[in-house]
A and B are shown apart, each in its own frame.
Chain A
Amino acid sequence: MIRTTPFYERLSELNATGLWGHWSGYLSALRYDMSAKHEYFAVRNSAGFFDTSPLYKYWIRGKDAERFLAGVMTRDIRLCRPGRAQYTLWCDDRGFVLEDGVVFRHSDTEFFMTTAEPNLGYFRDLVGRLDVQIDDVTADYGVLAVQGPRSREILHRLAPEVEKLRFFELTPAKIAGSSVTVSRTGYTGDLGFEIFTGADDALGVLDALIEAGAGHGLRPFGEDALLMCRIEAGLVLINVEFQSSRLAFTDHDRVTPKELGFGWMLRGIEADDRPFIGRRAIRRELADGTSRWSSVGLLVDWQDYDRLYRAAGLVPPKDETPLGYESMLYDDDGNRVGYATSLMYSPALQRHIAMARVQPRLAAPGSRVNVELTINHHYETVAADVARLPLFNPTRKTA
């Protein structure tokens, strides 16, 4: 039986389309409105809320919890103070990425973690003799992402604490009489927050939010709009940008943190004496320069794009729905030099953009590649410039 999240009762009233996807066994709205783009604009222009409850959630607690996470996670959790959150990865011993997730540090010994896939068994098997308790609390919490330029103003009316909350900080707060945690995090690349509430309190929190957002352009948004935002924001998605190394059949389907664009996470790893899974392989990769790919953004040449379609007798399509398949990348001599993992028309940037993986020699911004498209049932290529991710990065996100 498909499950519903603690917000479902209200969200089902708001969903005018009747369109629901299945996400980790829960009903998740694809869009609430006939126009996903309208929801997208709420996030970019005013504010939207998204039910992100289906994420797996774990409490990792105990005297050795920090030591445990320091040994499992690629990024050094010891640098994350209580009251802060950290986006992180975990790798296998060959230095390939298993998954990504966010760790919210509530205290010296209490960590809350969200992940896209179930990980309890894997994590518990790694505890050994450490004093750590890991509990799956997925169903105990509802999580509401409130994202967009007006999100702070709206949430401030409910929880004044958010005013001073900095990027990737978290704070306890009370909303509608319920104890919640609010973090300055999200998956849209915009100014935004996430509210973690007990499942029983979820509807009250949502109703308070909706009321606080009245007149501010606050509206629910579904997965379609979220996926547009996350590509503009350059945020990777499991099973699109990468898949778990543990479940891959070949190394072609594996990526290292560096290859996935997280070289920044590995800064200082030379001096880092922390033993963690994959450390040796990652250090070797960095030392030997053996990374096969670089993750980059692509800005498609709009003139070339329009010209190709016009020459074919077509109106150039500008569809914000991400393509459901990889597009190959070529150099001017027709050699394959990479692939785009996510390609869409960006309404904010007014051009087609992509998240892509190219050979490291082409990673410099401004390098030119050619993206494969099918036009009138023929393969064609359109020019694109390599650019740094994220492609859309408003100052309000971190300001």
Chain B
Amino acid sequence: MANDTKTYDAIVVGGGHNGLINGAYLAKAGLKTLIIERRGFVGGAAITEELVPGFHFTTFSYALSLLRPDIIHELELVKHGFMPILMPSSFAPMENGDYLLLGPDRDENIKEILRHSPHDADAMDRYEHDVERVCQLVKPLLDKAPPNLFGKSPEDLADLAELASHLGGAEPKVLHDTVRMLTGSAADFLDDYFESDILKGYLASSGIIGTKVGPMSQGSGLVLLYHSMGEHDGHFGAWAFHKGGNGGFTQVVARAAQAFGAEIMLEAPVDTVLTRDGKAVGVALADGTEIAADVVVSALDPRRTFTQLVEPRELPGDLVESIDRMRFQGTSAKVNFALDGLPRYPALGDRSDQYRGFVNIGPSMEYLERAFDDAKYGWYSQRPYLDCAIQSVVDPDMAPPGKHVMSCFVQYAPYHLKGSDWDTERERFADTVQATLESFFPGFGDLVLHREIVTPLDIERVVGLSEGNIFAGEFFAPQMYFFRPAPGWSQYRTPIEGYYQCGSGTHPGGCVMGGPAKLASQQILRDRSATG
């Protein structure tokens, strides 16, 4: 067995955005840090690939919103090229050929909503205000490790008291709205404000992304809340497209990490975390190389962190059981297109300004719920929900002049197909997606120069996310906060001393948020200073 002579203070397993951010923080604190990535480039699920010359695809993750703003400054990302470009519109085509087009001008939006429902014209301000109040209450929780609900130390009790005081300080209505969102359905919440199908369909879409729920399922409210907490330059619910895609973003983070002194090792799959006397001492790569470190951090999902990188037999039974029953059940896929030109939406003629932001194919809650019905019974949606973005409209560097790349997020696409498998279904699945687009944008198929199909199985195989779950563990109440990824293990430690977790399977969860990575680094540094 070959031994690498170099030793490190910390090794981060996985060079996705959380691995990079965690490594950058550790390096910034002075730890000799190595980030190890299995693939030939960093980024994990936040990558941009030039699959066809001149066409840059955001294969998996495709927009930026929930990134914690403090990370931008603390890691000096602006210096390394951080550039989130505003996506100033949202376009929601309808099955009858009409559409909802919302932009940056409030008054124009009111008129647009009024066109669909006079009743809803004044509801939008109320809805947004109420959701902002909830975000205001919940957001501080994203920026702190969850209290240890099961701990009895003075610090644990103080943390719990602080949480109780924070929530106790909320207005009753805000706290009630929060609980309704955290536990209820997006449909129930939206029904309180709106009557228009298109508006509700558009808003409810944020309640299902990445999760095996329909808008009428309990639990979709939580997903809606998460996506409402995103921001662009202080505006809640606004999204940005990073220059060069989310791969452009992770390249920025990699440069920052290296500038702080972190090393990055590519094409180096980690086989196991090495332990001695219940303590992590380094990692062994698949080729047998061993690299020593005092601290090992897994940026992989909880299933890999606890059952593959280490021996589950060495872990407490309760923990293994919790991880085994953690719900992953990926339900999202992507079909990305290289296009010869912009699609034409008949009702808008030759206009193209509707493509500066997301194109939301989810014209009603019923449409979304019916799409979910297919998934409930083990099949992909025959009329899927699509969240599309023609990113080359916002960033011309993504495609040759006049040509475009279109990222198309698809739901539902359950990881487990009944009576078939994804390798068999991938082309038929993509055809279904393309046919749906064709029904809204006649002639769409003629524009397609290339198509990239990303099934949940591809997400698992390529990125390593179990069952292709984009959040590294589904967003639902029993898997959040105190319980993410498992009761008693929400503070980034593991039962193995020196072995930590920093992936999206920990609080505050998935999306390109970076929160888990930063909070984990704080825990690691606190523990190191405590042990001297």
Contacts and interface: CB of A to CB of B under 8 A. Distances in A.
Interface string B384-420: 0000000001111100111100000000000000000
B88 A35 contact: yes
Given A34-B108, A350-B78, A302 B69 contact: yes
B234 A315 contact: yes
A198 interface: no
A214 B140 CA distance: 44
Contact of A38 (B83, B236, B243, B356): B356
Nearest to A351: B73
B103 interface: yes
B277 interface: no
Nearest to B133: A315
Given A348-B78, A349-B78, A350-B78, A41 B70 contact: no
Contacts of B396: 46, 150, 215-217
A350 B108 contact: no
B350 interface: no
A294 B73 CA distance: 27
Nearest to A153: B401
Contacts of B400: 215
Contacts of B395: 45-46, 217
A310 B139 CA distance: 11
Chain A: number of interface residues, binned into ranges: 20 to 34
Nearest to A38: B88
Nearest to B79: A349
Chain B: number of interface residues, binned into ranges: 20 to 34
Given A34-B104, A46-B395, A214-B402, A318 B88 contact: no
B104 A37 contact: yes
B86 A347 contact: yes
A347 B88 CA distance: 14
Given A150-B396, A347-B233, A215 B401 contact: yes
A302 B83 contact: no
Given A45-B395, A347-B233, A37 B70 contact: no
A38 B104 contact: yes
A34 B88 contact: yes
State the majority secondary structure of interface residues on B: mixed
Contacts of B105: 34-35
Interface string A310-326: 10000111111000000
A147 to B, nearest CB: 15
Contacts of A221: none
B86 A41 contact: yes
B85 interface: yes
A222 to B, nearest CB: 14
A45 B136 contact: no
B528 interface: no
A315 B128 CA distance: 13
Contacts of B526: none
Contacts of A217: 393-396
B82 interface: yes
A35 B395 CA distance: 16
A348 B85 CA distance: 9
A44 B83 CA distance: 9
A345 interface: yes
A350 B70 contact: no
A303 interface: yes
A320 B85 CA distance: 13
B174 to A, nearest CB: 11
Contact of B401 (A37, A214, A302): A214
B286 interface: no
B163 interface: no
Nearest to B132: A315
A45 B233 contact: no
A320 B233 contact: yes
Contacts of A316: 234
Contact of A318 (B70, B104, B235, B402): B235
Contacts of A319: 234
A214 B82 CA distance: 26
B72 interface: yes
Interface in A54-99: none
12 contacts: A34-B103, A45-B395, A46-B396, A216-B396, A315-B136, A315-B236, A345-B233, A347-B233, A349-B78, A350-B72, A350-B82, A351-B73
Given A37-B88, A37-B104, A350-B78, 14 more contacts: A33-B353, A35-B103, A35-B105, A45-B85, A45-B394, A216-B396, A302-B73, A306-B69, A318-B233, A318-B235, A345-B233, A345-B234, A347-B84, A350-B69
Interface of A: 33-35, 37-38, 41, 44-46, 150, 214-217, 302-303, 306, 310, 315-320, 345, 347-351
Query: Considering the complex of A and B, which 10 residue pairs feature the smallest CB-CB distances, nearest first?
Result: A215-B401, A318-B234, A217-B396, A35-B104, A34-B105, A215-B402, A35-B88, A318-B233, A38-B88, A41-B85
